[in-house]
Amino acid sequence: MATKQRVGGPIVKTLYSFYKIFGYGSVYFSLYFVVLYYFLFASNVRKSLKQYYKNIGEEFSNKKYFKHLFNYALATSDRFISKANPEIYNFINQNRNELLNELKNGSILLSNHFGGWATASNYFKDDNIKINIIMNEAMIKNASEFEQVIDKKNDKNVNIIDLSKGDIATSISIGNALLNNEAVALMGDRAINKKHLHKISFFKKDANFNKNPFLIAYKTKKPIIALFVVLKKKKTYEMIFERININTNKKENEAVEEAMQRYVKLLEKTLKEHPLQWFNFYDFWEDK
């Protein structure tokens, strides 16, 4: 099930060089050639996206396939450009204060491989927000490679909790963060540890989701904030969020199942509205 979805270091360095010399427009234009290569030769990605569109009830076409790849390339480029120059980006959210207050009081920030999720940390800068991102060793290495390219250190409001240090150390770090009323960010649409996989009906077919955020929310009695970062146009993202309360008066399994179903319904709604912005490039419904 797990599939590496990374942009190689040479491509990142080349695009960033274009940005520094010629500006954002040069990167945007160059992406057409990068995407064209994957459009022609990434047969495994094409196959998985055809399955994705079939399952969500949308027609698949070459035009849609190219646009889907382009959105991913643009969101990935924005990831490293926004670290160097966050001021050029615009984030739309009519309930900004409500979202910030949720995170300041300690919550589970539930993200997805959707839209500009990797750019979203810039939205919380200079607001005394501390976000602890749960990552495995490979993801940390990837993030480090981006920082080396742009010659920037980690954001002050972002802390990495390394899963490779073991379950006990990770649990302690997560618990301490929530006790300090800090946010903890996890992915809802992919579980790193197999023991956290949980089947939920997703567009009327079973698929595996990450139940760990919901278990943490149940045990710590903290709310879940499901966040979707929608790419609207160049350098502009819309922040859409919804609070998911987990019922701690119910038994753990029942409460977790109920909250996960609510999250999956939100994901279905978001994908129907923005189908070209989900970036899990493998057969998400495959039973592995």
d(CA 41, CA 201): 32
Residues in the chain: 288
> What is the reported pLDDT for 65?
98
> What is the reported pLDDT for 89?
93
Q: Tell me the per-residue pLDDT of 210-237, one tens digit each, with 9 for 90 and over.
A: 999 999 999 999 999 999 999 999 999 9
Q: Confirm if 191 and 178 have CB atoms less than 8 A apart.
A: no
> What is the reported pLDDT for 149?
60
- Domain boundaries defined on the chain: 88-277
Q: Confirm if 67 and 58 have CB atoms less than 8 A apart.
A: no
Q: Tell me the per-residue pLDDT of 7-36, one tens digit each, with 9 for 90 and over.
A: 556 777 788 888 989 999 999 999 999 999
> 165 pLDDT band (50/70/90 cuts)?
confident
The alpha carbon of 216 is separated from its chain's Cα centroid by a whole number of angstroms, namely 18
Q: Confirm if 282 and 1 have CB atoms less than 8 A apart.
A: yes
> What is the reported pLDDT for 2?
41
d(CA 265, CA 273): 13
Q: Confirm if 124 and 100 have CB atoms less than 8 A apart.
A: yes
Neighbours of 44 (CB within 10 A): 12
Q: Tell me the per-residue pLDDT of 92-136, one tens digit each, with 9 for 90 and over.
A: 987 888 999 999 889 999 999 999 988 887 788 766 788 998 887
Cα angle for residues 154, 156, 159 (degrees, 5° grid): 70
The pairing of strands 183-187 and 131-135 is parallel
> What is the reported pLDDT for 147?
60
Residue with tokens 């979805």: 5
The token pair at 46 is 């094409």
What amino acid is encoded at 131 in this protein?
I
Helices (H), the chain: 9-22, 24-41, 43-56, 62-84, 96-104, 137-150, 167-179, 212-220, 252-273
Mean pLDDT of the chain: 88
Residue 67 clears pLDDT 70, i.e. is over it: yes
